Amino acid sequence: MGRKYVFDLIDLQYKQVKLAWKERLWKFFLWFLASVIVALIYGTLFQKMFGSPEEAVLYQELENMKLQYSLLNRQMDNSLEVLQNLSYSDDNSYRLILDMDTITESMRHSGVGGVNRYEELEGFDYSYLMISMRKKMDEIRNKSTVQYESFKDVNERTEEWKREMEYLPMISPVSVSIRRGDGVRFREVHPVLGTPQWHHGQDFSAPYGTEVYATGSGKVIEAGWSKSGFGTYVVIDHGYGYQTTYGHLSAVKVSVGMNVKRGDLIALSGNSGTSTGAHLHYQIDLYGQHKNPLYYLNDDLTEEEYNEMIETLSSHLKFR
């Protein structure tokens, strides 16, 4: 505070004015009060414009969290896209090939929606962000669960399909080099009986003693002499409704109750039963209905490839 002077007319000089201590104290209080008010005003303006250090730290943390939410949201979108691709492949590839029913959209979206499951997240500044993330998390969890169960079913069906492919009659019972005779057709004159009747199998002009192989894995249910004209014959039950019959044999290498694998030697061709010459009668029945064996044979194999296949199957069985 500046000093105050007055002119003394008697002494003709300036003299310093000295205030009483109460006045000096009161002036000091007013000056201090004014300083505090000015400081508060400036502090408030500064805080509004720039914020406090604590607020700055919290603001930075909030921005970091928003960035993390944004990155997580992008990852969730990628996960949902992957799940969508998996579901498409599941329905249009795996289940289609394996002849399985597709999963409906209602099943894939089960557990989503309904009552307000996000009520505890409402009422905050960024409720929309938290609720959106929770919804995506729930959607990913539900779709993942459905897809996991679906792949379990597909895997089980695949194993069953592999087993089914092993058991179905899918190869020629004799070498592909052997000429084929009569197939499934109506014979107006049977070569032996001379009466009209159906021929329900495929004949192979196999020389006497030609090796005959099981065309699929299964169980021998009949072996020996047939009263129906097949002579010495073998019947294999492959499961899944399939049975194969091998007739007019000269020798049988298996017995009833024996389990055989595709490619096993089961008999030798012959001329037994109602036959005019050495050959093999091969027949496929599905649930008692006669099927054309030509639909089940692989005509793309050469003689060398067929022999190699039989050798591979036989050597595989030895080391199982």
> How far is it, in rounded angstroms, from Cα 127 to Cα 121?
6
Q: Give the residues across from 211 on adjacent strands.
A: 268
Token pair in block for residue 190: 């049977």
Q: Give the residues across from 186 on adjacent strands.
A: 198
CA–CA distance from 90 to each of 136, 156, 197 (Å)? 22, 14, 48
* C-alpha dihedral sign at 15, 20, 23, 28: positive
Residues lower than pLDDT 70 in the chain: 1-20, 46-53, 55, 110-115, 183-199, 316-320
CA–CA distance from 73 to each of 60, 118, 129, 276, 308 (Å)? 20, 17, 10, 79, 56
* b/e per residue 117-146 (b: at least 16 CB within 10 A): eeeebeeeeeeebebbeeebeebbebbeeb
176 three-class SS: coil
How many of the other CB atoms lie within 10 Å of CB of 150?
A: 21
Whole-number pLDDT of residue 189: 54
Whole-number pLDDT of residue 105: 79
Q: What is the pLDDT of residues 236-295, one digit of tens each?
A: 999 999 999 999 999 999 999 999 999 999 999 999 988 888 999 999 999 999 999 988
What residue type is assigned to position 158 of the chain?
T
Whole-number pLDDT of residue 34: 81
Which stretches does DSSP call E strand in 109-264? 185-187, 197-199, 202-204, 211-213, 218-226, 231-239, 242-252, 259-260
Contacts of 278 (CB under 8 A, 6+ apart): 206, 207, 208, 248, 250, 269, 270, 271
Whole-number pLDDT of residue 319: 40
Token pair in block for residue 194: 């001379």
Whole-number pLDDT of residue 267: 97
Q: What is the pLDDT of residues 205-248, one digit of tens each?
A: 999 999 999 999 999 999 999 988 899 999 999 999 999 999 99
Contacts of 147 (CB under 8 A, 6+ apart): 83, 86, 87, 90
Token pair in block for residue 317: 């069985």
